[in-house]
Amino acid sequence: MIILLGNVRIEITKTPRRNAGDAARRAYEMEKALKTCENERRMHEVRALRYVPWLR
């Protein structure tokens, strides 16, 4: 799966569900992707507030 948010591109691998290790790795990758997206959203909000200070 590929997630695009602004200029951030995140690729998440999909593997067969054979054991708990694969599931744990997928969960870790999804958590990492979520944090990256949240950080990108926050950076976008900060940039917007710099240009338009009355949005607060």
Tell me 16's DSSP state: -
Taking only Cα atoms into account, the Rg of the chain, rounded to an integer number of angstroms, comes to: 16
* 55 or 30, which is more confident: 30
For residue 47, what are the CA distances in angstroms to 11, 17, 24, 52? 25, 41, 35, 9
| Domain that residue 36 falls in | 2-55
The domain total for the chain is: 1
pLDDT in tens, 1-41: 677 767 777 777 666 656 667 777 888 888 888 888 888 88
For residue 9, what are the CA distances in angstroms to 3, 12, 21, 22, 29? 6, 10, 25, 22, 13
